Amino acid sequence: MSLSETIKHEARALGFDAVGISRVVPSPQRTDAGDQPDPLPASSPPSGGEGRGEGTSCLFVERLMEWLRRGYHGVMAWMERDPQRRADPTLVLPGCRSVISVGMNYFTGQQANEGPGYGRIASYAWGHDYHRVLGNRLEQLEDRIKALAPKARTRSYVDTGPVMEKAWAQQAGLGWIGKHTNLVSTQFGSWLLLGEILTTLDLDPDEPAEDLCGTCALCIKACPTGAIVEPYVVDARRCVSYLTIELRSSEEAIPDDLAIKMGNRIFGCDDCLDICPYNIQAQPTEEPAFRATPLTLAPSLQELAELDEPSFTAMFHKSPIRRTKLAGLRRNVSIACDNESRHQAAISLSAPNQAPSLCHSKSVSL
């Protein structure tokens, strides 16, 4: 096998379900935030053909700058810092020639409890923190690469570094960036968690994935808050994932019109992913770390509202949910309880004998 094929074989042996390689060819003329070229239309999807990587850095930064210009990043200030570095891996790892993109299937096939009194957690957070699961295996893959090519330099990331991982994953053939801006795979649907290794090795690239969304707009229609403002463009400030995770501030910081539409979602949102027709091909993961627990599959709003700091830390120490911190989770739970109270009040008006809500927002202290 070639070195590229050997690396892919090692990646699959470590439990990665998808692996591909893209070639890094930086743009010959780099622009900065103060002198940007006319950006490509933000609604135009990645073509998937950029000459196996040639010019992709320029293309990525143009789209990123247009998104930032519109203010769609909200309070995520790190997105603004040095966008050229985010788009060009050679500024992250000098001499970078290739990006090895990997994906792990996290679809469990389990169903969340949507009954009264329960919150909803995005399925990627049902099990252990994917940053650790993928990160540990990427470190092992780096070790194997260095054993195969001792002079190679590598650097790995799992959603934590200045790398546009979805764009490079598309270039590596893992899938395409759908209209909801998440990666879609013909084999795994919407359920791939991504990581990557930057390397100075000049590896054989894979064919970029072709955009297969066509005229489908189900994900746009499914978004509860209208965050997908046009195909391939998300205003993060309206996204439930942003509101429940990234916006770490008081309950009052979330506008009422958005809070009402959050429903019972207390950590992230799967609506635009669930609806994708390509999910019909998805098979449950064999990775035990991603399996749901009784807590994450059916989180009791009242029990979560009563958590103290030690209980929160013990309950979520292996979970990405700890990112919200206790105050953030309490805020989200309070909103979910208020929304359930509104829903039950509306039902009571039309059906006076309806059973009362199992969630009491007055029990939530912020």
Judge contact between 98 and 22, C-beta under 8 A: yes
**276 to 117, 157, 249: CA distances (angstroms):** 28, 27, 32
d(CA 307, CA 329): 10
Query: Which residues face 23 on adjacent strands?
Result: 98
Strand segments, DSSP code E, in the chain are: 18-23, 98-105, 120-121, 154-157, 176-177, 183-184, 192-199, 228-230, 233-234, 265-267
**Angle, alpha carbons 28-162-316 (nearest 5°):** 165
Number of residues in the chain: 366
Clarify whether 270 is annotated catalytic.
no
Q: Provide DSSP, 215-265.
A: T--HHHHH-TT--EEETTEE-GGG-HHIIIII--S-GGGS-HHHHHHTTTE
The Cα 288–Cα 220 span in angstroms is: 32
CA neighbor of 192 nearest in space, from 255, 259, 285: 285
Query: How many Å separate Cα 80 from the centre of its chain?
Result: 18
Catalytic hit among 17, 82, 129, 159: 159
Angle between helices 309-316 and 325-350 (to 10 degrees): 90
Looking at the annotation, which residues are catalytic? Answer: 159
